[in-house]
Chain A
């Protein structure tokens, strides 16, 4: 590639002014070790072979791209394609990363795994690979999320993981992440922390992006095969931003619009949202400099989204960089719009998407009608919605 967008981060983990390692000294040697091991693994054909073997035979890759024929007709503009990460084992893209990281943990001989989770999808994906490869697994989850994602809590327990409810702060993903970092600082010699998104201190944003970029690599090829050209727009929801980074990355040097959709919650004007890139400003949280929802004194603000996976005040540093450079655009969808989109997709295509994913679908519903009929939109359908049916039914005023 000729451009510079795929050459970040630099040697010290910076994406422009973003990224870096803002963590206690105790963790720096572990981050160095992880980075060294990862760079070795990248060059190691055995590691690559193993990773791709399990992606194919365990995760179920490649996932298909589905032409959303009825939805496209209904919207009357661009043709919409769905990258079906909901068909991955465990029901979301998260396992692409947990698989890669468990193989790294094995190389580093760390037998205990910890993770944070919001919606529970990353927790389930971590518990799954821990079960498959025989690792001890503890997952930190905000108490509020433990309640609203009860199904995933039970799945993690079935998989043999211990779920630790976090009662500090806002009791959501932000505090689960802080607590996981505290555990890691304490047990760093024996424990690998599998971060679930493109956030955290270097090298995590790079590693998670690379493991997730299989989504973009496959779908770029699939779109060329199915439509004879690249998509005009690639859409993905953004909480921490791993599914978006995974699908964006292989398209960075292409003439393709990349749009990330953040959670506008009850509306940007209400202040109850999680639209970090759209309304925040640069700050430092959980080990990296990136856009952050914070008050004038640098205190992190509480967030709201109907989707637990997007309910996070930070975002991956590379997204901040893509925003600053203008390479990607970031927009929002409200709780209401996501709920609508979830129903539209279910009825038109027979696919029940996760509430996170529904934010990306909601934006497609807004822009597709304004685009020419020969244009195409590729949506990263990052996860399936089984975990959300209870929340959706309550939001729509019914019981199960």
Chain B
């Protein structure tokens, strides 16, 4: 069983939802980024998504566009991200997922990327711009290296699309809460329960909801109907905001926030 699946079965026994936290690798700088991942794990995140920055993040809103830009300015690459993950892995058993776009993976070579990711201790991979239809090369290679292949469904997905995503996914399914790009929002959209209900009938895999989940009360609401909640932009903007006050401020603010978010997964 993969680290991701194990984590979900533990959480199920405990009656908790999963807190999935996204950060961009190398943001705000490579050294602090590594400390942040460890601190987020320590604060109770169940799964951490580490974003490999891509110059043209077309599924991302302004917050993650900015963190991507900051990371690229610092010279972050796919290879340096995997090296960071390997160092994190030597100190933590937290499930780690790489989230990126297809081009950086394709340029490294799909097989080489899978091998190096698995070697670094990555447990799963999400590529935002790779629907399962285009995963013909990726899917078998990922499976061979025991990487979970996490695909996304959206509110616009038809039953046929959901079935395809269910077939191709492992670890969990990423359920996009709304039509749109990543970014913190005030309210949860109303169509989420319907989407989850439809997907439940097609798969036993855990369902995690992301996009726009930015507060403990959102996490709590999501964990009532889903297996986990993904928080990205809210953490990334907190990092940017606290950065003026120095590294320790960033670490403690993020640690506190993740702890609060994790608490919310227990209050379902």
Contacts and interface: CB of A to CB of B under 8 A. Distances in A.
A4 interface: no
Nearest to A186: B180
Given A168-B65, A187-B179, A24 B154 contact: yes
Nearest to B101: A284
Contacts of B176: 24-26
Most buried by A among B58, B78, B105, B108: B58
Interface in A131-187: 168-169, 174-175, 178, 181-182, 185-187
Contact of B129 (A22, A187, A294, A296): A22
Given A21-B133, A22-B130, A300 B56 contact: yes
B151 interface: yes
A182 B54 contact: no
Interface in B56-89: 56-59, 61-62, 65, 72, 77-79
Interface string A247-285: 000000000000000000000000000000000001111
Most buried by A among B55, B152, B176, B179: B55
A286 interface: yes
B129 A28 contact: no
Interface string A99-141: 0000000000000000000000000000000000000000000
Q: Interface size class for chain A?
A: 35 or more
B41 interface: no
B50 to A, nearest CB: 16
Contacts of A189: 156, 179
B125 to A, nearest CB: 15
B101 A185 contact: no
Contacts of A30: 156
A230 B223 CA distance: 67
A181 B105 CA distance: 21
Interface residues of B, number: 41
A23 interface: yes
Contacts of B79: 297
Interface in B154-208: 154-158, 161, 165, 176, 179-181
A391 B77 CA distance: 37
A12 interface: yes
A27 B55 CA distance: 21
Most buried by A among B54, B65, B103: B103
Given A182-B61, A185-B181, A26 B155 contact: yes
A29 B103 contact: no
A298 interface: yes
B77 A297 contact: yes
B56 A178 contact: yes
B153 interface: yes
B143 to A, nearest CB: 20
A307 to B, nearest CB: 21
A20 B136 CA distance: 12
A188 B178 CA distance: 11
Contact of B161 (A25, A283, A289, A300): A25
Nearest to A300: B55
A113 to B, nearest CB: 17
B107 interface: yes
Contact of A29 (B130, B133, B157): B157
A182 B63 CA distance: 14
A75 to B, nearest CB: 41
Contacts, number: 116
A221 interface: no
Interface string B100-139: 0111111110000000000000000000111101100000
Contacts of A21: 131, 133-134
B156 A12 contact: no
A299 interface: yes
A298 B154 contact: no
A187 B158 CA distance: 17
B103 A285 contact: yes
A297 B107 contact: yes
A287 interface: yes
Contacts of B108: 297-298
A313 to B, nearest CB: 9
Most buried by B among A23, A282, A289, A292: A23
Contacts of A285: 56, 103
A29 to B, nearest CB: 5
B102 A25 contact: no
A25 B54 contact: no
Contacts of A289: 106
B106 A181 contact: no
Interface in B8-30: none
A169 B151 CA distance: 27
Contact of A25 (B62, B77, B152, B181): B152
Interface in B214-247: none
Q: Which 6 pairs of residues, A with B, have the shortest CB-CB distance?
A: A298-B107, A26-B154, A298-B104, A186-B180, A299-B55, A298-B103
Given A24-B176, A297-B79, 5 more contacts: A12-B133, A26-B176, A28-B133, A29-B156, A297-B78
15 contacts: A20-B134, A21-B131, A22-B102, A25-B151, A25-B176, A26-B156, A28-B131, A28-B133, A28-B161, A283-B107, A284-B101, A284-B102, A284-B103, A284-B106, A298-B108
